[in-house]
Amino acid sequence: MSAVLEVRNLRLWYGTARGSVRAVDGVSLEIAAGSVLGLVGESGCGKSTLGRGILGLLPEGARADGEVLYKGRNLVTMAPRELRRLRGPDLGLIFQEPMTRLNPLLRIEDHFRETLEQHESKLTDDAIRRRSLDTLGRMGIPPTRFRQYPHEFSGGMRQRIMIALALVLRPSLLVADEPTTSLDVIVEAQILRILADLKANFDTALLLITHNLGIVAEACDRVAVMYAGQIAEEGPARDVFAEPKHPYTRELLRSTISLETTELHSIPGAPPNLITPPTGCRFHPRCPDVMRVCPARDPIETRPEPDRRVLCWLYGPDGDIPPGGTEPAERERIALAEEA
């Protein structure tokens, strides 16, 4: 399987009055054609920024550095006009809150017409109609509602319309940014089924951003765990969940509610401030396994198993750990030092 998208050492920083926010800080990822990669992490860890950054949709004052290779071309250095042409037919994006994403003054038909005319100017009126209705039909929206306005649809239906609007151009990669967070459970299941079937129906690769680990376990081939702008761990979803390597992944899995849950577990502390993140490993102030090396040196990515990567000193490389570095450190002391 070849990668449809390769992200190499990507940095996405926001400018603010108090300094640069390192929302994404040296991320590397690969998504294979037709596969589903889950991107999980707490709120504010940079996962949404990463999703939008891949499409080059960043707010004013943000800057990108590194490589986003789509079919061998670097999107970071690409001319805006060229990147704009890729958005839609090659790279799709669906958002968290579907209620406000459709223009209230345009009919559903106008949205599809505009999108198709923009990218496939040779299509006839009839072809536009057929393609739109076909895609909508697969999302369960009947043709009778093609000429209605957005306010006539429920949230779940609007999200399905948004997905259809992205898929009607048959993109090779779809970024879905928490697509079910604002929907109720039954609708969530419907949307997830649609997304899981993408490969079968459209041969589209999916980057599924979520903080819901259950969704990842159900729908994803691989999973990347993000913490404070970096990828803490990445690997096949089944393996990562069965045997998490990074202490953060382990804590994250413990904090989810399952049928066997007897008491709620939470990770002490809060996600760090990304303007001045903790030194060394960014998770060290909250890590139960913290060692002396962790706050002192940036961790180096290792592959404890052939198909898995992890960013943690527990897995070496031993040659880079100074003598005495593996001694356990006291969490409290470090937390205090952090505050000072």
Partner 1 sequence: MAATAIERLHRRSLGIRRALGPIAEARGMARGMLWTGAGITLVFVLLAIFAPVLSPYGFDQYQAGGRRFAQLAHPGHGHILGTTVQSTDVLSRIVWGTQTELEVVGLALAFGLVIGVPLGLIAGYFGGLFDRAAVLFMDAMFAFPPLLLAIVIAFLLGSSVSSGVLVAALAITITYVPQYFRVVRNHVISVREEPYVEAARALGAKPFTILRKYVFFNVVQNVPVIATLNAADAVLTLTALGFLGYGVQPTQGAEWGYDVSRAVSDAASGIWWTGLFPGLAIVLLVTGLTLVGEGLNETINPVLRKRSIRRVDFAAPSLEPSTEILEP
Partner 2 sequence: MNQTGPSLKRYAITRLALVVPMVFILLTLVFLLMRVAPGNPVSAALGGHAPPAVIKAISHQLGYDKPVYVQYAHYLGQIIRGNFGTTISDRRSVGSIILVNGAATLELTFFALIVAIVVGVLVGLVSGRFRDSPIDAGGRLFGIVVYATPVFFLGMLAQLVFGIWLNWLPTSDQASPITEALLQTHTNIFFIDAIIDGNWTALKDIVEHLILPATTLGIVYGGVFIRLIRINVIRTLKEDYIEAARARGINERSVVYRHAFRNALVPVITVVGLSIALLLGGAILTETTFNWPGIGHELYVYLQNRDYAAVQGIVVVFALVVVAASIVIDFATAFIDPRVRY
Write out the residues near partner 1 by the rule CB under 8 A: 11, 13-20, 60-63, 65, 276-277, 279-280, 292-293, 295-298, 322, 324-325, 329, 334, 337
Dihedral sign from CA coordinates of 93, 163, 253, 34: negative
Least separation, in Å, of the C-beta of 221 and partner 2? 24
Least separation, in Å, of the C-beta of 280 and partner 1? 5
- Helices (DSSP H) in the chain: which residue ranges? 47-54, 80-86, 108-119, 125-138, 155-167, 185-196, 198-202, 213-219, 237-242, 247-254, 331-339
Helix, strand, or coil (residue 197): coil
Residue 205 binds partner 2, judged by CB under 8 A: no
Residue 119 binds partner 2, judged by CB under 8 A: yes
Residue in the block written with tokens 């306005």: 149
**21 bridge partner residues:** 14
| Burial group, residue 129, by CB count within 10 angstroms (0-12, 13-18, 19+) | middle
Least separation, in Å, of the C-beta of 9 and partner 2? 24
Question: Is 224 within 8 Å of 234 (Cβ atoms)?
Answer: yes
Question: Which residues, other chains included, contact 17 with Cβ-Cβ below 8 Å and sequence gap of 6+?
Answer: none
Residue type, 233: E
Residues 153-192 that bind partner 2 (CB under 8 A): 162, 165-166, 169
Residue 89 binds partner 2, judged by CB under 8 A: yes
Residue in the block written with tokens 């009947």: 142
Question: Which residues, other chains included, contact 60 with Cβ-Cβ below 8 Å and sequence gap of 6+?
Answer: none
Nearest residue (CB) to partner 2, 105 versus 185: 105
Least separation, in Å, of the C-beta of 339 and partner 2? 36
Question: Is 230 within 8 Å of 272 (Cβ atoms)?
Answer: no
Least separation, in Å, of the C-beta of 219 and partner 2? 22
Nearest residue (CB) to partner 2, 169 versus 232: 169
Residue 75 binds partner 2, judged by CB under 8 A: no
Of the candidate spans 95-103, 221-229, 264-272, 312-320, the one that interacts with partner 2 by CB under 8 A turns out to be 95-103
Instruction: Decide which of partner 1, partner 2, none touches 100; Cβ closer than 5 to 8 Å per partner kind.
Output: partner 2
* Entry field: residues in the chain: 340
Q: Count interface residues toward partner 2 (CB under 8 A).
A: 31
Residue 23 structure tokens: 């929302």
As a whole number of angstroms, the distance between CA 90 and CA 103 comes to: 22
- Measured CA distances, 122 to 75, 118, 160, 301 (Å): 26, 10, 26, 48
Residue 23 binds partner 2, judged by CB under 8 A: no
Nearest residue (CB) to partner 2, 149 versus 241: 149
Least separation, in Å, of the C-beta of 274 and partner 1? 11
Of the candidate spans 10-18, 92-100, 225-233, 242-250, the one that interacts with partner 2 by CB under 8 A turns out to be 92-100
As a whole number of angstroms, the distance between CA 206 and CA 173 comes to: 6
Instruction: Decide which of partner 2, partner 1, none touches 217; Cβ closer than 5 to 8 Å per partner kind.
Output: none
Binding site for partner 2 (CB under 8 A): 55, 57, 84-89, 92-93, 95, 97, 100-106, 114-115, 118-119, 148-149, 151-152, 162, 165-166, 169
